[in-house]
Structure 1
Amino acid sequence: MSRPRPMFAPQAPRIVAVLCLVLATFIVVPAQAAVGPFTGYLMAHFTGESATGEQIYVAHSDDGLHWTDLNNGSPALVSTVGTRGVRDPAIVRSPAGDRYWIVATDLRIGSGTSWDNAANRGSTSLVVWESTDLVNWSAPRLLSVAAGISTAGNAWAPEAIYDPASSQYILYWATNSTVNGVRKHRIWYSRTTDFRSVTAPQIYINRAGSQGIIDTQIIEVPNSVGGWRYYRASGDGQLTIEAANSVLGSWTRLGDLSHMGLTGSDVEGPMWTRFNDRDQWTLWLDQYATGRGYMPLTSTNLGSTQNFTRTTAYNLGGTRKRHGSILNLTAAEESRVLARWPSTAANRLQSYNFQDRYVRHANFDVRIDPNVSPAADAQFRLVPGLAGSGTISFQSVNFPGYYLRHQNNDFVLAANDGGATFTADATFRRVAGLADSSWSSFQSYNFPDRYIRHYSYLLRLDPVATAAERADATFRLTS
């Protein structure tokens, strides 16, 4: 559960600022050895408290360290239930590999909800999607998990792991509630077989005194490398590592990461994954305090916290990745994922009559400029039109989920709010250039007598009649 950074939410109490509400992680289930071999990796995450940031984003990696944003950096799944925002999604694969679930926090801070309200009067349900192929998902549904907890204020940062001892999934999450006179976040759990009905919640992890805990994630280690079958990392003031031989058994504290200069004041949102081709593991930690996103620690033996090492050989792609999760992919799963959420090449729009100038956004206004810096301000992806087939929309490269749209005949770069007006305003038909048929012009979808053109270097939506206006409305797509 990615907590807010003080610079973005100075009003948030410190106890809540410690939140790790990030995309709950893709869980490796015990039977996955029967599912493999694995060839790639899929990460799910959210990006922050922007207009579209609290939804589910996906990224792909060949090696587990270098990531490419899928779906052009736009959300892959959007919640339409509860608060209409999701954070911390966990992806769970069935032991047979024939069913998948995404379970996520029902929370949308970007809508104006305060952290205090979210922690004490928030949703006590989780958001669930279901799939049989990892790419075609059901409509989201709410799963009530914490309503039965007296004084429950929320249900955050869910995770799940299959428990072979009971042939059920152990679904666990953080709830802020008062127990024995102490109000704080504890980890609770329920059992489920289908993520539709759950058993009565029970306390899973309860730290001593007033110490709360929000983030925790478990990974199963084949052959018990390091001496234990399961390891879990938790954000509880430190980044604490524990081990056990059964999911609901007794856990032994192995230590924390303070010897590496990493505490709960620095990092959160622990996210485990195992490399596909070797007995080596990565523990990703969200550097929420500095806003630098995830950093990886690697280890070939999780039995001691002294075995973790830092690495700089990684790249997280273009989007900011908050409390996410990683699923090891089979070749078939990888093929489906890459086909379902491809990434489109970036383009620039060059002016026909000012050929040293390109369409760019600056402070969310849109104009044509020479020598654009940063270069990504002038880069857009031509994606299928938001309003329908045969049309296109211009999505920003460095602000995924933001599109060029007209507004009162002016152009702005704005986040897709999903509304019908935005959809129409951000959709165009690409036609032969009005001044030169080897170039292109872009006709408005909802005002077909108007075209994208520049006027005094500012982008506008206007009717076009004169030769000068036709030149102003002509552009070339370049790399």
Structure 2
Amino acid sequence: MVRGPARLGVVLVLACLVFASSAAISRTSATAAVGPFTGYLMAHFTGESATGEQIYLAHSQDGLNWRDLNGGAPVLLSTVGTRGVRDPALVRSPAGDRYWIVATDLRIASGTSWNDAANRGSTSLVVWESTDLVTWSAPRLVNVAGSIPGAGNAWAPEAIWNPATGDWVVYWATNAARNGVTKHRIYSARTSDFRTFTAAQLYIERPGTQGIIDTQIVEVPESVGGYRYYRASADGHITVEAANSVLGTWTTLGNLSHLGISNGATGGNVVEGPMWARFNGRDEWTLWLDQYATGRGYLPVTSTNLGSTGNFRTRGDYGMGGTRKRHGSILNLTAAEESRVLARWGTTAPTNRIQSYNYPDRYVRHANFDVRIDANVSPAQDAQFRLRPGLAGGSAYVSFESVNYPGYYLRQEGFDLVLAPTDGSTTFAADATFQRVAGLADGAWTSFRSYRYPDRYLRHYGYLLRLDPIGDAQARADATFRVTS
């Protein structure tokens, strides 16, 4: 039995051990509870085309050669703000049980000039949320830069877990006047849920009139090269800096001018959008750089020691798939995550049309998010769907996903059929799921019984689609369709 001062000493020792254990937990890497990793997922946009400023995904098994997912079509569309997104960042919670995509709210394809985008653009970010990396919430806007005096925009957002404070540091570029100079600087805010953010604070500024955009930070828990965090930024060069805490003092390590690479300050290969990734299973990193000036797409430079920019070397053994990849981010995938992602987007489901039985020149289509049957549908993709395994009920049922609005499904609302983005809820899943049965008017055709209301079927009435009980020959004909290519 321990008594007196000796017992007090034991208590103090135990308290110190508990404190040390708590401190160790607070220093845990954002990926410590996740892994091992087996693949890679890239989120990106493709350019200023009609649908190029949306969320695209690509997959890699080796970290260098990429395959477009979803057949090269976007997987998420923004319906908020400017209705376009660029520069998406993929973010995983430390426990690996939640994910976010954070992106720039910007659509140059709508006719917005770069001058307006930089000086009178959106000060909000677009955020999606998921618990499984494949079913995403509806997009939402977060006005992170609205409190910055004279803010003209909020571009290229990123997020990194900060163990010192137990929340996320979200950082982005904003063009605003400060000390008499208007230019892009990096601002930051903290959040624990990507809904509520602290007030924006200045995070990085370059001297004089030199602006800075496209900063991205990578965490290196083993401190290979001497530091825990490394960041690359487009500031005339691609400048690489290092620190041991996210909000601490950063040391400049250099740039990539020895490779003939700059962000315009010294010419050569002019790039932007630096994008970090660690190779699975080894201490080697890739810094992907978008060769936007020549339109050649991303170029990888790799290093096994991030402590000196002299260690970076360009690579030629890579492939970027069929679409042009513009500024995005890369997430290392666990086997479970990779399996879910590839099951959802790795194979392209055939594109189908749904033909009316009693009006065979008419097909199911969406128009302003309402659903009807029409002839001579234009654009043709408004009448094209992918029949997915039922969002509810599994493979015995089907759900209709729009081809030109991926992530949007036919669902009933008050027995009316609409096209709507999935919100991940069980209610949405039930409303958007149907059972294929023999055609009520002709057994060689098909009818679709509602999963949620099994006494009702999909049918047209006045050319509009709805769910109805079927009681006579006219209704049976209206509720009969053919799935065609």
* TM-score greater than 0.5 by the shorter chain: yes
Change beyond 3 A, Cα 1:140–1:413: closer
1:178, distance to aligned residue in structure 2 (A): 0.4
Tell me the residue number matched to 1:71. 70
1:358 corresponding residue in structure 2:
none
SS in 2 for 1:133: coil
**Pick from 303, 309, 312: which aligns with 1:308?**
312
Matched, 1:164 2:163: yes
Matches within 5 A, 1:60-459: 60-265=59-264, 266-344=270-348, 382-385=350-353
What runs of 5+ residues in structure 1 fail to find an aligned partner?
A: 1-28, 345-380, 394-405, 424-445, 447-476
Q: Partners in 1 of 2:127 and 2:355 — Cα distance?
A: 27
Contact 1:382-1:392 at 8 Å conserved across structures = no
Q: Report if the CA contact (8 A) 1:42-1:326 is conserved.
A: yes
* C-alpha distance 63-121 of structure 1, shift in aligned 2 (>3 A): same
Give 5+ residue unaligned stretches, structure 2: 1-27, 265-269, 357-361, 365-373, 385-402, 411-418, 420-459, 461-484
Query: What CA distance in whole angstroms lies between the structure 1 residues aligned with 2:69 and 2:181?
Result: 43
Q: Per-residue deviation at 1:222?
A: 2.5
Paired AA for residue 160 in structure 2: I
Q: For residues 126-180 of structure 1, what are the alpha-carbon distances to aligned partners after superposition, in whole Å with 9 as ceiling and x for unaligned?
A: 0000111111111000001000000000000000000000001000000000001
State the percentage of identical aligned residues. Answer: 70
Aligned residue type for 1:86: V
Deviation at 1:408, TM superposition (A): 6.8
Structure 2 CA distance for partners of 1:386 and 1:295, relative to 1, 3 Å? farther
User: Per-residue CA shift, 1:41-67, capped at 9, x if unaligned?
Assistant: 000000000000000000111110111
In structure 1, what is the Cα distance between the partners aligned to 2:49 and 2:232?
A: 28
Distance 1:410 1:304, change over 3 A: closer
* Contact 2:381/2:404, CA 8 A, preserved across alignment: no
Give me the whole-angstrom Cα distance separating, in 2, the residues matched to 1:337 and 1:392.
31
Aligned residue type for 2:305:
N
Q: Which amino acid is 1:298 matched to?
A: T
TM-score of the superposition, structure 2-length normalised?
0.68
The structure with more radius of gyration: 2
* Aligned residues: CA RMSD: 3.4
* C-alpha spacing 1:413/1:211, structure 2 compared with 1 (3 Å): same
Alignment-mate amino acid for residue 202 of structure 1: Q
Task: Tell me, in whole angstroms, the C-alpha distance in 1 between the residues paired with 2:334 and 2:378.
Answer: 47
CA distance in 1, matches of 2:295, 2:351: 29
Distance 1:245 1:150 in 2: 31
Whichever residue aligns with residue 68 of structure 2, its letter is D
Query: Cα 1:386–1:86, aligned 2, differ >3 Å: closer, same or farther?
Result: farther
- Paired letter, 1:223: E
Aligned amino acid, residue 253 of structure 1:
T
CA distance in 1, matches of 2:355, 2:254: 53
Quick check: 1:384–1:392 contact (8 Å CA) kept in 2? no
Give the 4+ runs in structure 1 shifted more than 4 A: 384-388, 406-420
SS in 2 for 1:119: helix
Per the alignment, residue 49 of structure 2 pairs with 50
C-alpha distance 268-319 of structure 1, shift in aligned 2 (>3 A): same
CA distance in 2, matches of 1:253, 1:154: 27
Change (3 A) 1:411 1:199: closer
Question: Take 2:165 and 2:304, find their aligned partners in 1: how far apart are those partners?
Answer: 30
Q: Which residue of 2 aligns with 1:16?
A: none
TM-score (norm 1): 0.69
Distance change >3 Å, CA 411–CA 205, structure 1 → 2: closer
For 2:354 and 2:252, locate their aligned partners in 1 and report how far apart those are by CA, in whole Å.
51
Take 2:329 and 2:284, find their aligned partners in 1: how far apart are those partners?
A: 17
Give CA deviations for 1:86-141 in whole Å, capped at 9, x if unaligned. 00011111101111111000000001111111111111000000111111111000
What is the deviation of 1:259?
1.0
Deviations along 1:377-422, one digit per CA (max 9) or x if unpaired, are xxxx84244999xx999xxxxxxxxxxxx997999899976599xx
Equivalent pairs counted in the alignment come to: 355
Given that 1:39 and 1:328 are in contact with CA atoms closer than 8 Å, whether structure 2 keeps it comes out as yes
Q: How many Å apart are 1:343 and its aligned residue?
A: 2.8
Q: Distance in 2 between matches of 1:94 and 1:277?
A: 21
